[in-house]
Amino acid sequence: MDYAFFPGCIAKNVYPGIEKATRIVFEKMNVGLHDYPYSCCPPPGVVACYDKDTWYALGARNLALSEPDNRDIMTICAGCYGTLHNVWHELQHNDAKRAYVNEHLGRIGMTYKGTSRPIHFVDLLDGMRDTITQNKEVDLDLRVAVHYGCHYLKPTTVTGENSESPMLLDEIVGLVGCKSIPFKDRLTCCGAGGGVMSGEPELSLKIMERKLKNIKKADVDCIVNICSFCHMNFDQSQKKLESFDIPVLHLNQLLGLAFGVKHKHLGLHMNLVSTRDLVKKVKGAKKGRDEE
């Protein structure tokens, strides 16, 4: 299997541990990831909210890059996925928009065909459950709070997901020995999207605070997300709020731990909220296994 790899700007330029973890984990699972001169998705909360047509055109440029190689595009962020998948979906149906986009891409000698599909990596993992189990070296035995991310699930008319009671992520963390702990309002937004985190940080923080309170009540070892943007919000907000210290892991970092990768290679130490205790706990688990 081969994919064009769309890391997105947060995983590249803010939390590179996520990019690294993804590369390691997918290499272990024998999935080839290929780089392209991608721009950022562009961000739905900013570009789409300012001018949707620009959003379509820039999104289409990214989508078109791997078309000559016939590669689908793997994203590791719900925001990137939201942009690329929505753009792809719209251009699939809307001929006028497609013509518009191609008119502009034509100016730089590109065309958009729609032959490369964006895929969220969790959907990819869904079909690789056996591979995950085969690569598992450590049974993590953690209590985790999973966070799906709005734009991975919704709008369902585009994503085709079940937005009210999804189980996929819960099942995947289960494969590496983690227990997904239910908590109140587990599916609500983290508060980052729509330009709110940058435009109205206080509002964003309030939404996040409520969310963190609910997670804290569930008494978990860490938060697991499938979106670099949510990841950044969870990690940075806890520092701002000061009253929380729940480690935040992107699913690929969690998988990395389970695959026996050293936490430093996964960039866990770069999080603002310390992951030290968590890493200790996992090491303990590994030791326990080794001694068996």
Partner 1 sequence: MDKTMDDIIREGNAYACIQCGRCTGSCPSGRECGLRTRKIIHMARVGIDVFKTEELWDCTTCFTCQERCPKEVKITDIIIELRNLAVKNSYYPSMADVPKIIIQNLYRTGNGQPLSPEVSKLRSIIGLDKEPNDIAKDKEALADFQKLLDGLPLMRWGGI
Partner 2 sequence: MKIGVYVCHCGVNISNTVDVQKVISEVSALPTVAVCRDYQYMCSDPGQEMIAKDIRELGLDRVVVAACSPRMHEPTFRGAVEAAGMNPYCFEMANIREQCSWVHEDKEQATRKAADLVKSSVARAALLEPLNSTEVPVTHAALVIGGGIAGIQTALDIANSGYPVYLVEKDPSIGGHMAQFDKTFPTLDCAACILTPKMVDVARHPNIELLTYSEVESIEGSVGNFHVRIRKKPRYVNVSLCTGCGSCATACRLVGRIPSEFDMGLGKRGAIYVPFPQAVPLRYTIDPEKCLMLKHGKCGTSPKCVDACDRDAIDFSMTEEILEVDVGAIVVATGYKEFDPTIKREYKYGTFKNVMTGLELERIFAPSGPTGGKALINGKVPKKIVFVSCVGSRDKRIGNPYCSRVCCMYIAKQAHLLKEKIPDADITVMYTDMRAFGKGYEEFYERVQKEGIKYRRGNAAEVYEEDGVLHVRAEDTLMGEPYELEADLVVLGTGLEPSDAADAIGHMLHLSRSADKFFLEAHPKLRPVDTVIDGVFLAGAAQGPKDIPDTVAQASGAASHVVNLLSKDVILAEPIVAEVNTDVCAGCRICEILCPYDAHAFDEERNVMTINKAICKGCGSCAAACPSGAIAMNHFRDSQIVAQILEVI
What residues numbered 203-222 form the site for partner 1, per CB under 8 A? 203-204, 206-207, 210
**Is residue 164 involved in binding partner 2 (CB under 8 A)?**
yes
Instruction: Please state, as a whole number, how many other Cβ atoms lie within 10 Å of the Cβ of residue 274.
Output: 12
What would the two tokens of residue 94 be? 């809307």
**Is residue 206 involved in binding partner 2 (CB under 8 A)?**
no
Q: Are 59 and 51 in contact (CB under 8 A)?
A: no
**Rounded distance between C-alpha atoms, residue 163 and residue 188, angstroms:** 10
Per-residue contact track with partner 1, 218 to 257, x per CB under 8 A? ----------------------------------------
**Is residue 165 involved in binding partner 2 (CB under 8 A)?**
yes
Q: What is the 8-class DSSP label of residue 69? A: G
Per-residue contact track with partner 2, 7 to 26, x per CB under 8 A? --------------------
Burial (Cβ within 10 Å: 0-12, 13-18, ≥19) of residue 287: exposed
- Please identify, using beta-carbon distances, which residue of 165 and 242 lies nearer to partner 2: 165
CA-based nearest residue to 250, from 17, 8, 3: 17
CA-based nearest residue to 84, from 107, 109, 64, 102: 64
Q: What is the 8-class DSSP label of residue 182? A: P
Q: Shortest Cβ distance from residue 202 to partner 2 (Å)?
A: 19
**Is residue 39 involved in binding partner 1 (CB under 8 A)?**
yes
From the list 171-179, 196-204, 243-251, 252-260, the region that binds partner 1 by CB under 8 A is 196-204
Q: CA-CA distances (angstroms) from residue 64 to 52, 74, 98, 104? A: 18, 14, 12, 13
**Is residue 162 involved in binding partner 2 (CB under 8 A)?**
yes
Q: By CB under 8 A, how many residues form the interface with partner 2?
A: 5
Identify what 7 binds: partner 2, partner 1, none; CB under 5 to 8 Å per kind.
partner 1
Q: Shortest Cβ distance from residue 153 to partner 1 (Å)?
A: 8
**Is residue 184 involved in binding partner 2 (CB under 8 A)?**
yes
**Is residue 38 involved in binding partner 1 (CB under 8 A)?**
yes
Write the CB contacts of 167 (distance below 8 Å, at least 6 apart in sequence).
none
Query: 143 by DSSP, 3-state: which?
Result: strand
Per-residue contact track with partner 1, 162 to 191, x per CB under 8 A? -xx--------------------x--xx-x
What would the two tokens of residue 46 be? 């900013």
Residues contributing to the site for partner 2 (CB under 8 A) = 162, 164-165, 184-185
